[in-house]
Amino acid sequence: MSEPGSPSPRSVSQTVADISAMCGEGRDAVEGAWHEATMYAERSVCRARSAIEDYFEIDKDFRMLGPKREDPNLVRDVHDFFNLFALIPVIVLNLVNWSFESLWNIMFHGAAWTSLQEMWQGQVGGLFWYVSLAYFLLDLTFVVFLPTSVKSPSVIIVHHLVTITCLLVPKVHPEYLWVMGACMFVELNTWFLIARRSCNKRAEKPFATGVSFAKSCRMLTISLCFYSSWFIIRLALNAFLLPEIFRLWMAHSQRCGSMFNLTLISVFSQLALVILNTKWTIDLVRSKLKSKSPSKGL
């Protein structure tokens, strides 16, 4: 017999059983909650919108179906028209400042690579800077007052503000104007991106029924230039420039005696560009590859 006031063996066993059951229920509840949280996170990631969806038709399985069919939008069309013409002097002036002779010798005569900086001649560097600044200010004004002209106005506004801030670096330190020129090569890809959309608002496919031969050739040429400039400039050149900009910042910091100087802006902005361009490239390739695979639907 048990002593008075002490729990009986039967009650102790019942208590242990209750605790075990409660622990089991708690474990099941935790596992269930964890499973739900994991599923929610996966759904959120899968449904996260990519920037490439502004320019390509992407289905729910993230397969690229082709160019995005554009709805009628006069403001957007005017903005595209402005960019197609306003970017031309920016691109041309940038190209004039470079000497591609060394690149030609490297490609076809086996010459040794020296540096990107040595290719910069800067004949019209000052004019190039002012024209570039004017373009970004005008385009920023356009988007601020007519936000329906672009798909993501806040992104464009932030981008232009950061770019305008970065333009202060070569203005204060002209020896870094070549870095600006190298970074501004990306506007060539931007031009083809806008041209690709503007010339094919109905999302037609080359050589399809009803599409003329001339238009098909134009579409293919623009697409080829867009994709090649994307990988050469947005991906390769920007990645190449990141350590160069970092090296210049370190050298400049040693000269001025402080790591917190104007050139630090370029390091952060270039790093952000490399990350974004890499992410967009992965999205672009992934959606393109998925479009080649058979659909899992009915």
* pLDDT tens track for 44-85: 444 456 767 767 777 777 777 677 777 788 999 999 999 999
Q: Is residue 56 part of a domain?
A: yes
Q: Tokens 């690709």 — which residue?
A: 196
Q: Dihedral sign for Cα 285, 288, 292, 297, please.
A: positive
C-beta of residue 248 within 8 angstroms of C-beta of residue 263: yes
Both 56 and 77 in one domain: the answer is no
Both 32 and 128 in one domain: the answer is no
pLDDT at residue 38, rounded to an integer: 53
Both 61 and 110 in one domain: the answer is no
Count the helix, strand and coil residues of the chain and give each as a percent rounded to the nearest 5: 75, 5, 25
pLDDT at residue 31, rounded to an integer: 57
Q: How many domains does the chain contain in total?
A: 2
Total residues found in the chain within this entry: 298
* Residue 98, strand partner residues: 120
Both 63 and 98 in one domain: the answer is no
Both 120 and 209 in one domain: the answer is yes
| H/E run at residue 155 | helix 153-166
Q: Is residue 3 part of a domain?
A: no
pTM over 0.85: no
pLDDT at residue 41, rounded to an integer: 45
SS3 250: helix
Within 8 A by CB and 6+ apart from 22, the residues are none
Q: How far apart are alpha carbons 25 and 31 in whole angstroms?
A: 10
Both 19 and 137 in one domain: the answer is no
Q: What are the tokens at 157?
A: 């506004």
Both 49 and 80 in one domain: the answer is no
pLDDT at residue 29, rounded to an integer: 56
Q: Of the residues 67, 86, 106, which one is the last residue of a structural domain?
A: 67
pLDDT at residue 32, rounded to an integer: 58
Q: Of the residues 22, 39, 67, which one is the last residue of a structural domain?
A: 67
Q: How far apart are alpha carbons 143 and 84 in whole angstroms?
A: 15
pLDDT at residue 285, rounded to an integer: 86
Q: How far apart are alpha carbons 277 and 282 in whole angstroms?
A: 9
pLDDT at residue 76, rounded to an integer: 93
Both 49 and 165 in one domain: the answer is no
Q: How far apart are alpha carbons 113 and 108 in whole angstroms?
A: 12
Q: Is residue 253 part of a domain?
A: yes
Both 59 and 84 in one domain: the answer is no
pLDDT at residue 293, rounded to an integer: 65
Helix (H) and strand (E) counts in the chain: 11, 2
Q: Is residue 1 part of a domain?
A: no
Mean pLDDT of the chain: 83
C-beta of residue 131 within 8 angstroms of C-beta of residue 108: no
Give pLDDT < 70 ranges for the chain.
1-49, 51, 54, 65, 109, 293-298
Q: Is residue 248 part of a domain?
A: yes
Q: Is residue 298 part of a domain?
A: no
Q: How far apart are alpha carbons 131 and 81 in whole angstroms?
A: 18
Q: Is residue 297 part of a domain?
A: no
Both 49 and 161 in one domain: the answer is no
Both 112 and 97 in one domain: the answer is yes
Both 205 and 223 in one domain: the answer is yes
C-beta of residue 66 within 8 angstroms of C-beta of residue 56: yes
Q: Is residue 53 part of a domain?
A: yes
Q: Of the residues 67, 91, 107, which one is the last residue of a structural domain?
A: 67
SS3 57: strand
Q: Domain span at residue 194?
A: 73-291
